Chains A and B, each alone.
Chain A
Amino acid sequence: DTEVTQTPKHLVMGMTNKKSLKCEQHMGHRAMYWYKQKAKKPPELMFVYSYEKLSINESVPSRFSPECPNSSLLNLHLHALQPEDSALYLCASSQDGSGYEQYFGPGTRLTVT
């Protein structure tokens, strides 16, 4: 089973709202990732958690706040977003932080109005 689940599938939020994206995997993976993907572009790495510790922050604005409550869950807290933050947000996981065999979830389509 190589399933990564993400909720919600779609999210529309205003620029003053606070919302959270959730990601879950039950493959025993110890690394989890957040990516942002704009239309017709490849995924862009935002954050990497390895063994529940933040390993990489790709200079992401502070209006995006990641959280890894345990090895199976990954959250992305959103606050005061801009319309240009509208995108598909993808979660991925891999066995460890080396990056080998990353499995992606279906994504959350975020629209900021």
Chain B
Amino acid sequence: GENVEQHPSTLSVQEGDSAVIKCTYSDSASNYFPWYKQELGKGPQLIIDIRSNVGEKKDQRIAVTLNKTAKHFSLHITETQPEDSAVYFCAASILGATDSWGKLQFGAGTQVVVTP
């Protein structure tokens, strides 16, 4: 089955700096890669996602890049703010696979701390 590795496990950044979280996946059939942000006491929030037919996607201060050949994808947060502090999870999935309906394989998570 799919295995997703996520690094680093913790990331401390100064406010205004950039943060990068990297994930690798094992199943070359995976074609959908969402990122979730989970604040303390809340459910995961979908913040950005990318499909395998796209190499990069941006939404304001966040961006995701995908390298299908190397089987890795990354989350980039620019101009970090204290409210970006949270646990971030990457995930991989095979859209349309009838034997794994909607199953997301999550990475272990990255605790991001933004210090003012």
Contact = CB atoms under 8 A, between A and B. Distances in A.
A71 B113 CA distance: 38
Contacts, number: 68
Interface in B15-62: 32, 34, 36, 42-46, 49
Interface of chain B: mostly helix, strand, loop or mixed = loop
B100 A56 contact: yes
B30 to A, nearest CB: 11
Contacts of B106: 42-43
Given A42-B109, A56-B101, A105 B43 contact: yes
A94 B42 CA distance: 18
Given A40-B109, A42-B107, A97 B43 contact: no
A42 B88 CA distance: 10
Contacts of B32: 99-100
Given A6-B43, A43-B89, A99-B104, 18 more contacts: A4-B43, A33-B102, A42-B106, A42-B108, A42-B109, A43-B104, A56-B100, A56-B101, A56-B103, A97-B102, A98-B95, A99-B93, A100-B49, A101-B46, A102-B102, A102-B104, A103-B46, A104-B43
